[in-house]
Amino acid sequence: MLVLFETAAGYAVFKLLDEKKLKKTEKLYEEFSTAESASKILKLQHFKKFKDTTEALAAATASIEGKMNKSLKKLLKKVLVEPAQELAVADAKLGNVIKDKFDVNCVCNTSINELMRGIRSQMNSLITGLPEKDMAAMALGLAHSLSRYKLKFSPDKVDTMIVQAISLLDDLDKELNNYIMRAREWFGWHFPELGKIVQDNLAYAKTVKLMGYRTNAVNVDFSDILPEEVEQELKHAAEISMGTEISEEDLTNITYLSEQVVDITEYRAQLYDYVKNRMMAVAPNLTILVGELVGARLIAHAGSLLNLAKHPSSTVQILGAEKALFRALKTKHDTPKYGLIYHASLVGQSNPKMKGKMSRMLAAKSALAIRVDALGDETNSDLGLEHRATLEKRLRYMEEGGARRISGSGKFQAKWDKFENKSEVKTYNPAADSTLPKAKKRKFEEENGDENNQSLSKVPKVEPVEEVSSEKKKKKKNKYKDLDNSVDTTQESIADPESSEKKKKKKKKKSKEDSD
């Protein structure tokens, strides 16, 4: 039997001298305790050294993916001369590839794994012609290049750019708010009326940059920035403004700050387009369901798309509301209904009463979409489009008042999908539906009654029920009266036995007179 052993310096093929040792796997490590005992079990037959680190990296990546490298093919052609030979391999996938290519029986089991451990422990003594320093240097270089390759091509690390971009986008929004507030307050000393006339931040910054002093407003054309009505109002306000005078140095600083606001706003638009395109490439289904910004914030909050795929839908629903969740658990109050998913368009356009239910449904569909994006082979958005259509349909039903009816799961959902209008839902007769359970029929009767004289189910007659109920009520009243009389008589008999007997006789006479 031959043994294929992979190292950072090259491929080594050993010949197993004593195959009986493999049967005793528990004591196999004892045979590799010293170099002399290891040389009695294995003998180096051939060693194929790598030329450089690029060849070593190609061989390592091929073995990770379960493929056969060109250098390994050349080595096996030289070594595998006899067709009846067996080859011990550490990886079962690689063994299957070699078996299909060379028609050789490849062995991979627990005893072979123990043998590989023993070879690794005595590698320097078994492989002759390579000093330890060269072997350590090759191993270190291969480790660095392999880690760089994994970082470059790993699907788990592609979304790191999204995490950085969405973090930068949030930082830019904060800085823009601070800058425009400072510019409005600073220039407000000179032209306070401009803040009320021009509400948009970007238009305000461009106006200040173009105008300078308020006295120049009459001679400046603002048609590219502002509409005609706002431009006329601005020019009129500049003539009668009550602002103070400012120096040229103040104006240069304000103008430079306005330029910064314009530049940052333009860069933010570019960054938003980058995030949008990146999200459609990495997580298209999640982007269609919740939007690119909310999806990117969910990925950034979880750390990566793969980590987000491990979360259940209940965690996706409240992701971003951890403080409120733990505060509610500590104070024993109601837990939050939504976190970052609240900013999704489907939740935003629903009624305030339906936001919690909509966020729960959206989180359930988003959890499935995230797993498809992270672990699926194909990168298409069919699942996201399908789920969004169903969620929009459910939202329309809930707004029309059919939230209770569609909340039933499974086999009754298809029947409710047939009805698009509320008027059609009212005409639905549950008595004609044999698959509908009796409990649902009773609920329908209790809520809607017997409309249009339709016999929805077995309804008891009204008259006998009222007569029986009235008789029962009379009997109960008489029983309670007898009990009260008995209690009164017992108390009176204890207090005055003679007076209680007289009262009993009077009551008997009254009852006879009433009966007559």
Q: What is the pLDDT at residue 297? A: 94
User: What six digits make up the tokens of 108?
Assistant: 């991979």
pLDDT in tens, 156-207: 457 888 999 999 999 999 999 999 999 999 999 999 999 999 999 999 999 9
Q: What is the pLDDT at residue 438? A: 65
Examine the pLDDT at 426 and tell me if it is beyond 60: no
468-472, 490-494, 503-507: least confidently modelled range: 490-494
- Give domain 283-400's CATH number out of 3.30.420.40, 3.10.310.10, 1.10.3720.10, 1.10.246.90: 1.10.246.90
Domain ranges within the chain, ordered by starting residue = 2-151, 161-271, 283-400
> Looking at residues 209-218, what average pLDDT do you find?
89
* Closest CA relative to residue 169, chosen from 304, 267, 256: 267
Q: What is the pLDDT at residue 516? A: 59
Q: What is the pLDDT at residue 45? A: 83
pTM of this prediction exceeds 0.85:
no
Q: Work out the angle at residue 364's Cα, subtended by the Cα atoms of residues 360 and 365, and round it to the nearest 5 degrees.
A: 120
pLDDT in tens, 442-474: 666 666 654 444 444 444 444 444 444 555 555
> Looking at residues 303-309, what average pLDDT do you find?
90
25-29, 248-252, 293-297: least confidently modelled range: 25-29
**161-271: in CATH 1.10.287.4070:** yes
Q: What is the pLDDT at residue 371? A: 93
> Looking at residues 314-330, what average pLDDT do you find?
92
Scanning the structure block, which residue is given the tokens 């708010």?
177
Taking the C-alpha atoms of residue 45 and residue 82, their distance in angstroms, rounded to an integer, is: 14
Q: Please give the CATH topology (third level) of the domain spanning 2-151.
A: Nucleotidyltransferase; domain 5 (3.30.420)
Exposure class string for 153-190: b at 16+ Cβ within 10 A, else e? eeeeebbbebbebbeebeebeeebeebbeebbebbeeb
